[in-house]
Amino acid sequence: MFDHFVWSVVVSPPLIVLAAFAVAGRLAPALAARVLAWSAAIVAAAGMANLAVFAMKAVAEVPAVAQAMGWSAAVVRDDTARVPWVSWGSLVLLIVATAAAGWAHRRHRRDLRTARSFPRPEGDVLLVDDPAVTAFAVPGRSPGRGLPRDPGWVVVTTGMREALSREQYTALLAHERAHLAGAHHRLVRLAELAGAAHPALRWVSGQVGFLVERAADEQAAAEVGERRLVAQAVGRAALVAARARAGSRGALTPASSMLHAAGPSRPGVVPRRVAALLRPVPGTTALLWLVPALVAAGTVVWTGEAIYDLQELLRFAYLGRP
């Protein structure tokens, strides 16, 4: 069974990272974000399922448990006798991964509650009187069955509005509305949960965050009809927001998991976005989405085989009990 652990927990996550390098600049940003977010989430879930399989094996190795269930603890233990640490090590890793993913989920829900605490505007833009320079998209609540979809809204501070020209402000709103239309917060949440569950996927999580910003940039450029204008809006918003943060101006700070055009980001992200907008629309290689998708699919198959092998091992241990 150890080969299942190696493939799903050790090999597949780095393969998704390599796949992210391969597809990030060769697929349309919106497609790349979806494929990478879902592939990372599937690989993380499959890895946790494999950890759960080995954790169950660890419990099955306990003599008291084996005696109560009527199988041979020695037979169960001998399956991984050459790597005796893997069963109990998997139990520890499963606890850590579950706790980390749970913490990330709670943080995301807390950020959503904070963002939704603003009064709902009559339209889709809420202008907040605050010198802080920021703008972000607030996803709508999930509607009940049969109810119309809540599209969400955009929060913009007066500090941001005053920093941009009318045309740049229009481009900024188009960018934030693209986040809402594409449900980008869900992709970011999927990728963040995957990164919390497996450290190797944290880079993919950051890449998905960058790709949803690029997707919103491209959608905004298509809407306003001028790529250079969107580049100017992105650059200007980021510049004045950085200056405002350095001077601690304003009280409004977007929640860390909200989608915003001018919030804190990793060094080099905004220049990359601006540079991409100043170039023509890049060509894409559509079939490249199969690379991460096949890695994820292979991990699911391998996980199913691990579950089957555990069942067979326990059946053999039952038949082979002394």
For residue range 53-66, list pLDDT tens digits in order.
999 999 998 988 88
122-129 average pLDDT score = 88
99-112 average pLDDT score = 92
Residues 66 and 74: their CA atoms lie apart, in Å, by 9
Structure-block tokens of residue 299: 């991990």
106-126 average pLDDT score = 85
Instruction: Looking at mean pLDDT, say which of 38-47, 105-114, 255-264, 299-308 comes out highest.
Output: 38-47
Q: Which helix (H) or strand (E) holds 213?
A: helix 202-224
At 252 the pLDDT is: 57
- Residue 77: pLDDT over 90: no
- Do the beta carbons of residue 213 and residue 269 sit within 8 Å? yes
* pLDDT tens-place string over residues 199-244: 999 999 999 999 999 999 999 999 999 999 999 999 999 888 888 7
- Residue 138, strand partner residues: 153
Residues 254 and 268: their CA atoms lie apart, in Å, by 20
Structure-block tokens of residue 10: 């050790």
- Do the beta carbons of residue 91 and residue 54 sit within 8 Å? yes
- Residue 321: pLDDT over 70: no
Residues 244 and 239: their CA atoms lie apart, in Å, by 9
Residues 248 and 271: their CA atoms lie apart, in Å, by 23
- Residue 35: pLDDT over 90: yes
- Residue 116: pLDDT over 90: no
Residues 5 and 11: their CA atoms lie apart, in Å, by 9
Long-range contacts of 267-273 (CB under 8 A, 24+ apart): 269/210, 269/213, 270/234, 270/235, 270/238, 272/210, 273/210, 273/213, 273/214, 273/217, 273/231, 273/234
At 262 the pLDDT is: 45
- Residue 245: pLDDT over 80: no
Give the three-state DSSP class for 155. strand
Packing angle, helices 85-115 and 29-61, rounded to 10: 140
Report how far apart, in Å, the C-alpha atoms of 261 and of each of 191, 195, 285 are: 19, 22, 27
> Mean pLDDT across the chain, nearest whole number?
86
At 148 the pLDDT is: 62
Q: Which distant-in-sequence residues (6+ apart) come within 8 Å of 150 by Cβ?
A: 140, 141, 142, 143
- Do the beta carbons of residue 42 and residue 201 sit within 8 Å? no
- Residue 143: pLDDT over 80: no
- Residue 292: pLDDT over 70: yes
Predicted TM-score (pTM) of the model is: 0.87
- Do the beta carbons of residue 221 and residue 71 sit within 8 Å? no
- DSSP 8-state secondary structure symbol assigned to residue 119: P
Share of the chain above pLDDT 70, in %: 89
Residues 296 and 244: their CA atoms lie apart, in Å, by 42
